[in-house]
Structure 1
Amino acid sequence: MTTLTRTLAAVAALGLAVGAASYTPPATAREYVSVTVSNRPPPPRFERVPPPRAGYVWAPGYWNWAGGRYVWVGGHWYAGRPGYVYRPPAWRPYGRGWRIERETWYRDPHWHR
């Protein structure tokens, strides 16, 4: 290989590496479906909350609307997210019915590194 060919190959490899390192995939579209239900959700079921686990957050069970009826979703563990607080789903009155606010993680305003 000649010096010019090696130089061009090195420049091309460097360009590919920089391009690959700076590439960010397009954001995934988030889909949100809102359902309003006319009848109040049943009272929460009793769940025995397991002992705390370091680095995890307990997400309590809740009633979900699926297939035209309420379906119980049992509690489970989520890996903790430093600087964020978990908010469980909750049913809220909405007009003449009920609407669920989905679970979410929100930024903790009191968290500092």
Structure 2
Amino acid sequence: MKTIAKIGIVLALTGSLFTSCAADYYVAERPAEPVYVRPVAPYPGAYWVPGEWAWRGGRYAYINGYYAQPRRGHVYVQGYWHPVRRGYAWHRGHWR
């Protein structure tokens, strides 16, 4: 029984390793960011998280920015397009 459990754990870890190696989605040219008006902050000290690109339905779709509660001791790193072998891929923004 312990052997079956060990094999199961090894298979699960191997699967998660290969899943994390998945390639980025890419585009030949970076799309232009849509122009929209940023709404008024809903409360004092609200942090504006800029819009992002997400892979949806076989293409990148723009998701508007939003206000969020700032995270104490963290800074927001804005997402960006980075060059890959076949064009550009979006690197998501995150709190660091």
- Distance in 2 (alpha carbons) for counterparts of 1:44 and 1:99: 14
Gaps of 5+ in 2: 1-18
Deviation at 1:101, TM superposition (A): 1.2
**CA offsets 1:39-92 (integer angstroms, 9 cap, x no match):** 223100112123344232111223322221121211111111122111122111
Q: Which amino acid aligns with 2:37?
A: R
Pairwise CA RMSD: 2.4
Instruction: Please say if residues 36 and 97 of structure 1, whose CA atoms lie closer than 8 Å, have aligned partners that are also in contact.
Output: no
- Amino acid of the residue matched to residue 84 of structure 1? H
Which has the greater radius of gyration? 1
What is the aligned counterpart of 1:57 among 47, 58, 67?
47
Q: Percent identity?
A: 30
**Mapping of residues 1-113 of structure 1, within 5 Å:** 34-52=23-41, 53-106=43-96
Matched residues in 2 for 1:34 and 1:84: separation?
28
- Unaligned 5+ residue runs, structure 1? 1-30, 107-113
| Moved beyond 4 Å, runs of 4+ | 31-34
8 A contact 2:27–2:89 mirrored in 1: no
The Cα shift of 1:34 comes to: 4.7
Larger relative contact order (C-alpha < 8 A, sep ≥ 6)?
A: 2
**Per-residue Cα deviation, 1:1-22 (whole angstroms, up to 9, x for no partner):** xxxxxxxxxxxxxxxxxxxxxx
